[in-house]
Structure 1
Amino acid sequence: MDLKIKGKTALITGADSGIGLETAKFLARAGVNIILSDKDGGEELDEAKRIVEAESNDNNKIVTIAADLSKNEGVLKMAKQIDDDFGGVHIVFHSAGARGAADDFLNLTDDDWMKTIEIDLLGAVRVARAFIPQMQKNNWGRMIMVASENAFQPYENESPYNACKAAIVNLSKCLSRSYSKENMLFNCISPAFVKTPMTEAMMEEVAEEQNLSIEEAEAWFVKNKRPHIAMERRGKPEEVASTVAFLCSEHASYINGSNIRIDGGAVESAFG
């Protein structure tokens, strides 16, 4: 399918792996200029650039920018560089995030909460605040944020992450109400148990605790901790990225203020 966004410019945060990297590949194939951003530059981000360049069959530019989204000055510096080099963005896929502190609610301190909020909620706020003006200037925009099944079906030992992801759904809806008359669309996605560095780390913990291989740990985790996943497996990043690419396209021109679950049936309620 022709996404009809050739020549547009997209910023992807959390782009050195997982869903962010797979989305970059989809958009590169569509002829989009890609800015790959992650907290740390270096070898992983450079390798991501090489992977995305190999997918591109046009003269679109693929560049990298290291930016710490937990600091407003890092976001503003990145925004200025993109405005200077590309004339601003048309598309923002905010994929960066972290599981944050995970424990029994009564064991979590204010500091635990604030570290998670700084990354998972305020990072999204800073990115939106910095890049909505660029989309306004370009009179066209798509912003997609990553929420989670945790926003609708929270897990008891991940309360900061649960709360932040629920806030992302609300923030995306709020932005859609505020700016859609200016030819910009705002949506979010809610993946569940997708193969990313975050879930890889979780599986390594389970494997060590249960004395299992990673594959056995994944099967154990699905059976015992995520029994509502109807497909009984971990999702693939490209299964999420294909939906994100569609939301970035001209074909998604009437999808706005929505949350799309990409969860293998993980959320038990029909209306979550």
Structure 2
Amino acid sequence: MHIVLKGRKAVVTGSTAGIGRAIAEGLARAGASVVINGRSEERVATALREIKALFPETEFAGIVADLSTLEGAATLVAEAPDADILVNNVGTARPKSFFDLVDEDWLDLFQLNVMSGVRAARHYVPKMIGRGWGRVVFISSESGLAIPKEMIDYGMTKTAQLAISRGLAEAVGGTGVTVNSVIPGPTNSEILSNWMKATAQSQGITQQEAEQDFLRTMRPTTLLNRFTSTEEVANMVLYVCSEQASGTTGAALRVDGGVLRSIG
């Protein structure tokens, strides 16, 4: 399958590293112009420099904005007022006991992981409908279906993304705009990779051993028996953003390494 997105403009939130960066590179490789987003000038500038070196013929823009805030959302849409493709990737996780979580923890995570996508979709989707073509993708997680006891707040936000994605797909049915979510499993993203590095150092083991320990104790249902790469997740996103995926909408597509045991 040859995916071509030349002439399409994509906005990928939280795309200076990890899954978001891999998605931005995949879209650029397919010919789309891409807006990179991050919360610091340094990270955005570094990502832009590196990705432009890989794809010198592609148009890129960088937007510094904290999308957990109304002000950040306003900055994003002011600097990138239109998009054919929206990938709501930005998010984080902070392992913490349920009983240690305070109200601010819940609300802050909800603002970043959930409301960032709500605000972006609210702006970009009506214009997609007007053109009769658009792609919206929410990057959820297997934690949204198998809630981890050490990150209940994170699991809650990822379940919310699945609900919003499906509901929005219903709302735009028949318009030429598709809305889907992608469900990664344990992935060598920046956040999880850094966690595994820190765990390995504290225990005096290799990162690969730390990852295997994590899978064995925290995700024992894995069929892949390794972390997925950010590129493997990006490949699924690239497909649902393509012309070839015009018949796929309202779906939750897994790149979870078989962690989730249910068929549907």
**1:223 is paired with a residue of what secondary structure?**
helix
What corresponds to 2:74 in structure 1? 76
Are 1:51 and 2:50 counterparts?
yes
Once the two structures are superposed, the pairs formed by residues 153-172 of structure 1 within 5 Å of their partners are 153-172=146-165
Match of 1:235 among 210, 228, 234: 228
Query: Residues 25 and 52 of structure 1 are in contact (CA less than 8 Å); yes or no, is this contact kept in structure 2?
Result: yes
> Given residue 201 of structure 1, which amino acid in structure 2 is its aligned partner?
N
Q: CA deviation at 1:45?
A: 2.1
Once the two structures are superposed, the pairs formed by residues 7-22 of structure 1 within 5 Å of their partners are 7-22=7-22
What corresponds to 2:138 in structure 1? 145
What corresponds to 1:92 in structure 2? 86
> Given residue 132 of structure 1, which amino acid in structure 2 is its aligned partner?
V
Provide the C-alpha distance between the structure 2 equivalents of 1:208 and 1:115, rounded to a whole number of angstroms.
29
> Given residue 38 of structure 1, which amino acid in structure 2 is its aligned partner?
G
**1:181 is paired with a residue of what secondary structure?**
coil
> Given residue 93 of structure 1, which amino acid in structure 2 is its aligned partner?
V
Normalised to the residue count of structure 2, the TM-score between the two structures is 0.94
Q: CA deviation at 1:149?
A: 0.3
Match of 2:263 among 248, 263, 270: 270
| Cα root mean square deviation, aligned | 1.6
Q: CA deviation at 1:57?
A: 6.4
Provide the C-alpha distance between the structure 2 equivalents of 1:154 and 1:17, rounded to a whole number of angstroms.
25
* Identity in percent: 29
Once the two structures are superposed, the pairs formed by residues 251-266 of structure 1 within 5 Å of their partners are 251-266=244-259
Any gaps of 5 or more consecutive residues in structure 1?
Answer: none
Query: Residues 28 and 55 of structure 1 are in contact (CA less than 8 Å); yes or no, is this contact kept in structure 2?
Result: no
> Given residue 194 of structure 1, which amino acid in structure 2 is its aligned partner?
T
Out of 214-223 and 228-237, give the one that drifted further.
214-223
What corresponds to 1:40 in structure 2? 40
Match of 2:60 among 62, 76, 81: 62
Query: Residues 76 and 130 of structure 1 are in contact (CA less than 8 Å); yes or no, is this contact kept in structure 2?
Result: no
Query: Residues 154 and 162 of structure 1 are in contact (CA less than 8 Å); yes or no, is this contact kept in structure 2?
Result: yes
Query: Residues 4 and 31 of structure 2 are in contact (CA less than 8 Å); yes or no, is this contact kept in structure 1?
Result: no
Provide the C-alpha distance between the structure 2 equivalents of 1:138 and 1:64, rounded to a whole number of angstroms.
25
**2:173 is paired with a residue of what secondary structure?**
helix
Residues 227 and 72 (structure 1 numbering): CA distance in 2 closer, same or farther, change over 3 Å?
same
Deviations 1:90-132 (A, max 9, x none): 00111110003x3232222111211211111111211111222
Any gaps of 5 or more consecutive residues in structure 2?
Answer: none
> Given residue 68 of structure 1, which amino acid in structure 2 is its aligned partner?
D
**2:63 is paired with a residue of what secondary structure?**
strand
Deviations 1:61-92 (A, max 9, x none): 11111111111121122212212xxxx11001
Query: Residues 28 and 53 of structure 1 are in contact (CA less than 8 Å); yes or no, is this contact kept in structure 2?
Result: no
Provide the C-alpha distance between the structure 1 equivalents of 2:78 and 2:132, rounded to a whole number of angstroms.
18
Provide the C-alpha distance between the structure 1 equivalents of 2:213 and 2:74, rounded to a whole number of angstroms.
43
Once the two structures are superposed, the pairs formed by residues 184-195 of structure 1 within 5 Å of their partners are 184-195=177-188
Q: CA deviation at 1:268?
A: 2.2
> Given residue 46 of structure 1, which amino acid in structure 2 is its aligned partner?
A
Provide the C-alpha distance between the structure 1 equivalents of 2:26 and 2:105, rounded to a whole number of angstroms.
35
Provide the C-alpha distance between the structure 1 equivalents of 2:69 and 2:164, rounded to a whole number of angstroms.
19
**1:180 is paired with a residue of what secondary structure?**
coil
Runs of 4+ in structure 1 over 4 Å off: none
What corresponds to 1:5 in structure 2? 5
Provide the C-alpha distance between the structure 1 equivalents of 2:100 and 2:142, rounded to a whole number of angstroms.
23
Normalised to the residue count of structure 1, the TM-score between the two structures is 0.91
What corresponds to 2:208 in structure 1? 215
